[in-house]
A and B are shown apart, each in its own frame.
Chain A
Amino acid sequence: MIAIRVEDLKKTYKSGFLKKSKFQALKGVSFEIKEGEIFGFLGPNGAGKTTTILSMLNLIKRDSGKISFFEKEIEKDVEIFKDIGYIPEEPYLYNFLKVREFINLGTKLSGIEDKDIEEKIEKYLKLFDLWEKRENIIKTLSKGQKQRVLLALNFILEPKILILDEPFRGLDPVGIRIVRQEIEALSKKGSTIFLSSHIISEVEALCSKVSIINNGLIVWEGNPKEIPRKEEGFKVLYKSKEGVFSGKILKNQEELLEFLKEINFSGGEIVEVLQETKLEDYFYEKVREN
């Protein structure tokens, strides 16, 4: 079954005196996401990712296009939001509620009346390192902790569709790992995940389908694992004997080994070796082509 269907979505922002200045943010975006799929949404800054999400959630007016969740149109029934979880780019929370009160508000409004809800709340608050802060006012939390509150709430709700807009932003490496694991676990339970992120490696590792958006148009769509295998390159950051930091791009493993030997012999020091991902190459290629 198709969980999310977006057809020919168009959106123009108008501004200025008499709204004469126009900017077309979306020029006909279409995609389909199957139930249980983890869908990655990639794009450079200003490509139209957040506009697509806000349009999907009926938060902004669109020029044209059709959006449906489980074949139901979002405008017609607000009850559909029972099945949708949303984590925005910036964590917007009621600053003067306590963490526990906010979680309770979210679960009650979404109509969750499980018997084991208390256990679930405890589990996720502990997982996101918020259990000790459950009686704290949200205003006193850091940005990363606020993001964790929203993440915890959405994982407690276990929605059928979870829309995440830059969920890794503001999180430390431990937080990123937890979110990745929870997304996978939620997907295994049958939930559909829509993941918009700048972290290409995370998208590549998690998603079974990826769309790349640029200038308001989908420029590529497919399975990141099916991208034609190219020779994978390496980025090497090193410090020379004189203490100068430099970088070098190497095409393959043989070149890399040779270069490492060379640096070792000259008395230099390797700082970092990064393997360029296939999706990252593809992303840059497609964005540049467009």
Chain B
Amino acid sequence: MKRLEKIKILTLNFTKNFMRSRAGKSLIYFIPLFFLIMLLSLSSSLSPEKLFLNLGSSILYLVILFLSIFSSCESITGEIKENTIQFLFTKPLKPGEIIISKWLSVNLITFTTLFSYLLVLHFFGLIFFKKYFFSLDISIATLFLGSLLLSSFTFFLTTLFPSISTAIFILIFGTGLIDVLLKALLAAKTYNLIGLIAKKVGAGILYFFFYLFPSFNNVTLEADEILLNKTFWKGYLVKFFYVIFCSIFYLLLSIYIFKVKRKIYFKSI
């Protein structure tokens, strides 16, 4: 059987399995929340448009980021916890095929949810404000890149630490700490210790790690700037390729770790 065919079958079945689980079904519960945003913004005495946009995009950010992190973590750790990984490891599958199918499944779920919610928001925008909000599309475009990057990085973490709590802890605190450290090293002057360390390591290497590290600063698109300068696609493409490069890097790392650690996942038996 061809590799692509295997990946397609696995991706579809992983997606079905997740969507029918309680976590998957809970995505539908967010829809009433959008109705609530609409009602809140309409009843506001301030600018209803602004409130609608702010609330809409921030809840979307929250849902998608949570979904991206949670489903990526659950994707690997769930298999280990439920021991269904035995089924995969006793089939003619390579670690790469498993990881890529899982990653595609997670992103398929995230993007389907993302675009469904975007449609709901645009629908409300057109009905109640008689306006098409382009800034929502820009938020979604940023979110699209952010969740791609985040899911790849979470895959790397969960293959390394196959426990949801550890992976989320490291993701939130560890990455924040490293991000701050890298920024401090890059901004440091040579007369202090941090500056000396930075000089020793070299700016090139520091910048390499800074950009490799999943930071939303690197994928954020400024709506006003884009609208004024009309450079949307140019800026977006650069960031898109940056995200693709980082994602491939983290996925390759995940595949390698998964291959090396596959026998350790069973040590509890």
Contacts and interface: CB of A to CB of B under 8 A. Distances in A.
A and B: interacting chains: yes
Contact of B82 (A86, A88, A95, A110): A95
A92 B82 contact: yes
Interface residues of A, number: 32
Contacts of A93: 84, 87
B91 interface: yes
A258 to B, nearest CB: 51
B269 A97 contact: no
Contacts of B266: 54, 59-60
Contacts of B192: none
Nearest to B18: A96
B16 A97 contact: yes
Interface string B78-97: 00001110110111111000
B1 interface: yes
A189 interface: no
A109 B92 contact: yes
A59 B13 contact: no
Contacts of B84: 92-94
Interface secondary structure of B, over-half rule: helix
Contacts of A249: none
A94 B83 CA distance: 10
Given A96-B17, A96-B20, A97-B13, A78 B94 contact: yes
B238 interface: no
Contact of A94 (B9, B17, B264, B269): B17
A101 interface: yes
A78 B92 contact: yes
Given A54-B269, A109-B9, A92 B87 contact: yes
A105 interface: yes
Contacts of B16: 96-97, 101
Contact of A80 (B6, B92, B267): B92
A61 interface: yes
Contact of A108 (B1, B264, B269): B1
Interface string A19-61: 0000000000000000000000000000000100010011111
B86 A110 contact: no
A58 to B, nearest CB: 7
A205 B87 CA distance: 29
A222 interface: no
Contacts of A108: 1, 5-6, 9
A272 interface: no
Interface in B52-106: 82-84, 86-87, 89-94
Contact of B263 (A60, A82, A101): A60
Nearest to B21: A96
A57 B89 CA distance: 9
12 contacts: A54-B266, A61-B264, A78-B94, A84-B90, A92-B84, A94-B13, A94-B87, A95-B21, A97-B20, A108-B1, A108-B6, A108-B9
Given A61-B263, A97-B13, A101-B16, 16 more contacts: A54-B266, A59-B89, A78-B92, A81-B90, A81-B93, A82-B92, A90-B83, A94-B17, A95-B17, A96-B17, A96-B20, A97-B20, A109-B6, A109-B91, A109-B92, A111-B1
